[in-house]
Amino acid sequence: MVDKDTGKAAEAARPDGAKRVLRQPSIKDIARLAHVSHPTVSRALQNSPLVNPRTAENIRRIADQAGYHASAVARGLVTRRSRTIGLVVTTVADPFTSEVFSGIEQEAHDRGYCVFLSESNADPERERQVVRTFAERRVDGIIVTSSRVGALYLPLLSEMMVPIVLVNDQHPGAFVHSVMIRNLEGSRAAASHLIELGHRRIGFIGDQIGYQSDAERCAGYREALEAVGIPFIPELVVQGDGKPEAAMRAMDQLLALAHPPTAVCCYNDMTALGAMRSIRLHGRRVPEDISVVGFDDLFFASYTQPPLTTVRQPMRRMGQMAMESLFNLMSGDASEIRIKVEAELIVRESTARVKRG
């Protein structure tokens, strides 16, 4: 009797199209075919030890033959979990974001979660709106990269009731869960490398919308100068926006000085790209005339001409760490308050000893 009924249910799902599928079989259908209760089917499909192994195996076989697929929505109503994560990024066009997302998505996938992605376009109000929307859609947790809101999430937590982890927060403060690169130490290492090569007039191209990370990287640059008694010269610090076009204009400004720098520290690798192009357009060479250091170690850094010396951020790993921290919060486990990730200087061919003239 069971096999006969199961055969009829399975027939509807056959690829030969002999019978058209009118609807997805439900737990009630499986329970009727297996002659057991609805709760027994539910437990068996969740591998509960409360169901006799032979009964559970029979239920799973019937479900498979009938083409049954568990509904994520229905499962969420039972478990109070949607098994979804909301991810807010500045822009999907940013290679840094792409690497961080890869780490987040892989960790989420390994744990059976889906990731919903949305852009903030570096707009604090849009960032807040996206986070609220994710919370209203009952995601289990939220990750925000390069947050422009930061500590302001704190008063919203009790209202939204959704765990949040920030990656490279641009407004750190009272907010307690974040993953950050050691910006100051990384930038200090980059500037110290140039100093060791004999450079004394070193420029810095920042990011006017980078907020905290820009402030920390500029501070690291200044610390390296102060450590060896090199005076800080304000005219050698100019602002871009983290993109090549603005970096070209910033480098043009440095090259127009009566005494241009012999080396430049850049806010990120995208800034370094623009700086290197400006240097070439002015008829100068990297590193023979001007050394250039980036920050991030994006995928293209080793393919530029010359290959770019830069500070490596373990972007994919940072995404994984953010996801691990979020899972701990979602599970009620202890999670490190502020995770600081080590930066690593990667020396390539865009830096060289200063020319003595």
For 198, the domain range is 183-313
Kindly report the CATH number assigned to the domain that includes residue 267.
Answer: 3.40.50.2300
pLDDT at 3: 43
Residues 130 and 189 in one domain: no
Per-residue model confidence (pLDDT) at position 13: 41
Joined together, the tokens standing for residue 5 give 């009924």
How far is residue 351 CA from its own chain's centroid?
29
Of 42, 70, 98, the one marking the end of a domain is: 70
- Contact in structure between 143 and 318 (CB atoms under 8 Å): no
Q: What is the predicted pLDDT for the residue at 275? A: 98
What is the value of pTM for the model shown?
0.75
CA 76 to chain CA centroid, nearest Å: 26
Q: Do 320 and 177 share a structural domain?
A: yes
Q: CA 104, CA 99: separation in Å to the nearest integer? A: 9
pLDDT at 176: 65
Q: In this structure, is residue 280 part of a structural domain?
A: yes
Q: Supply the CATH number for residue 29's domain.
A: 1.10.260.40
Q: Which residues pair with 292 in a beta bridge?
A: 264
356 part of a folded domain: no
Q: Which residues of the chain have pLDDT under 50?
A: 1-22, 72-73, 76-79
**Co-location of 203 and 323 in the same domain:** no
Q: How many domains would you assign to the chain?
A: 3
Helix 53-66 / helix 27-34 crossing angle, nearest 10 deg: 120
Q: What is the pLDDT of residue 234?
A: 97
Q: Which pLDDT score, from 0 to 100, does residue 46 have?
A: 75
Q: List the one residue out of 246, 288, 286, 251 whose CA is nearest residue 270.
A: 246
